[in-house]
Amino acid sequence: MGLFAPWFLAALAGLALPFYLHLLKRQTRKPKAVSSLMLYESRTQSSTRHRRLRYFLLLSLRLLLLLLLILAFANPFVNRNAATLSSDRLVLLVVDNSFSMRAGTRLADAKTAAMSVLSGKGAARGQVAAFGSQLRLMTQPIEDQSALRAAVQAIPPGDGHGNFGELTRAVRAMAQSVHTPIELHLFSDMQRGDLAATFSDLALPANVKLVPHAVVSKAQPNWTVESVDAPGQVWGKDAKPVHVQAVIAGYGTPAAQRTVSLVVNGKTTATKTVAVPANGRATVDFPALEVPYGFSRCEVKIDAADAFPADDLRRFAVQRSDPQKALLIHNYGDSRSPLYVGAALSAAAQSAFILESINVNEAADRQPSNYAFIVLSDLNTVPSLLENSLAGYVRSGGSLFIAAGTSAGGRSQIPIFGARIVETRDYSRVPGRFMAVGSSDSSYPAVAKAGGWPGVKFFYALDVDPGVGPGAARVIVRLGDQTPLLLEKRIGEGRVVLLTSGLDNLTNDFPLNPAFVPFIEQTARYLAGSERQGGARLVDAFLDLRNSNEQAREHAGAQSQAVEVTDPEGKRPLTLSEAASAQTFQLVEAGYYQLRLANGRQDEVGVNPDPKESNLDVIPDDVLALWRGKGNESTQNASAPGAATPQNTSQNKTPQSFWWYVMLLVLAAAVAESALASRYLGTQREEE
* pLDDT for the residue numbered 25: 54
Cα separation of 410 and 367, whole Å? Answer: 28
Q: Which helix or strand (DSSP H or E) is residue 277 part of?
A: none
* pLDDT for the residue numbered 591: 96
| 625-661 per-position pLDDT tens digit | 889 875 434 434 443 333 444 444 444 566 777 777 8
Query: How many angstroms from the chain centroid is the CA of residue 603?
Result: 25
| 9-37 per-position pLDDT tens digit | 787 777 777 777 666 554 555 666 766 66
Q: Tell me the pLDDT band of 477, cut-offs 50, 70 and 90.
A: very high
Query: How many angstroms from the chain centroid is the CA of residue 667?
Result: 52
Q: Residue 308 in contact with residue 316, Cβ under 8 Å?
A: no
Q: Tell me the pLDDT band of 683, cut-offs 50, 70 and 90.
A: low
Q: Residue 516 in contact with residue 339, Cβ under 8 Å?
A: no
* pLDDT for the residue numbered 183: 93
Q: Residue 383: how many CA atoms within 13 Å on its side-chain side?
A: 13
Task: Give the 3-state secondary structure percentages of the chain, helix then strand then coil, rounded to 5.
Answer: 30, 30, 40
284: which strand partners? 246
Q: Residue 178 in contact with residue 141, Cβ under 8 Å?
A: yes
Q: Which residues contact 41 (CB under 8 A, 6 or more apart)?
A: none
Amino acid at 200: S
Helical ranges in 29-187 per DSSP H? 56-74, 106-119, 145-153, 164-177
Q: Which helix or strand (DSSP H or E) is residue 320 part of?
A: strand 313-321
Cα separation of 624 and 211, whole Å? Answer: 10
Phi-psi domain of 305 (left: phi exceeds 0; alpha: psi -120 through 50; beta: other) = left
C-alpha separations of 149 from 89, 128, 188 in Å: 19, 9, 18
Phi, psi for 416 (deg, rounded to 5): 65, -50
C-alpha separations of 83 from 118, 300, 329, 662 in Å: 9, 50, 79, 24
Query: What value does the mean pLDDT take over residues 275-290?
Result: 94
More confidently predicted of 356 and 42? 356
Q: Which residues contact 433 (CB under 8 A, 6 or more apart)?
A: 427, 459
| 513-552 per-position pLDDT tens digit | 999 999 998 899 888 876 555 589 999 999 888 865 444 4
Cα separation of 212 and 210, whole Å? Answer: 6
Q: What is the pTM of this model?
A: 0.69
Edge-to-edge, what's the strand order for the sheet holding 437-440?
A: 353-359, 324-330, 373-377, 399-403, 494-499, 484-491, 474-479, 437-440
Residue 412 CB burial class (10 angstroms; 0-12, 13-18, ≥19): exposed
Edge-to-edge, what's the strand order for the sheet holding 536-538?
A: 536-538, 602-608, 591-596, 564-566
Cα separation of 214 and 457, whole Å? Answer: 63
DSSP 279-323: T-EEEEEES-----SEEEEEEEEE---SS-GGGSEEEEEEEEEPP
| 379-435 per-position pLDDT tens digit | 888 888 999 999 999 988 899 999 999 888 778 889 999 899 999 999 988 888 899
Helical ranges in 439-498 per DSSP H? 445-449
Neighbour count for residue 528 (Cβ, 10 Å): 20
- Which of 26-30, 156-160, 221-225, 531-535 has the weakest average pLDDT? 26-30
Residues, the chain: 688
Closest to 216 (Cα-Cα) out of 643, 641, 636, 627: 641
Neighbour count for residue 390 (Cβ, 10 Å): 23
Residue 129 three-state SS: strand
Cα separation of 478 and 436, whole Å? Answer: 9
* pLDDT for the residue numbered 636: 40
* pLDDT for the residue numbered 635: 38
* pLDDT for the residue numbered 48: 46
Cα separation of 442 and 446, whole Å? Answer: 9
Vertex 83: Cα angle to 78 and 88 (nearest 5) = 75
- Strand 494-499 and strand 484-491: the pairing is antiparallel
Query: How many angstroms from the chain centroid is the CA of residue 474?
Result: 27
Closest to 382 (Cα-Cα) out of 405, 354, 399: 405
Helical ranges in 470-594 per DSSP H? 516-528, 550-556, 576-581
Cα separation of 81 and 211, whole Å? Answer: 14
Residue 203 three-state SS: coil
Q: Residue 345 in contact with residue 373, Cβ under 8 Å?
A: no
273-277, 351-355, 445-449, range with greatest mean pLDDT: 273-277
pLDDT surpassing 70 at residue 83: no
pLDDT surpassing 80 at residue 58: no
* DSSP label of 543: E
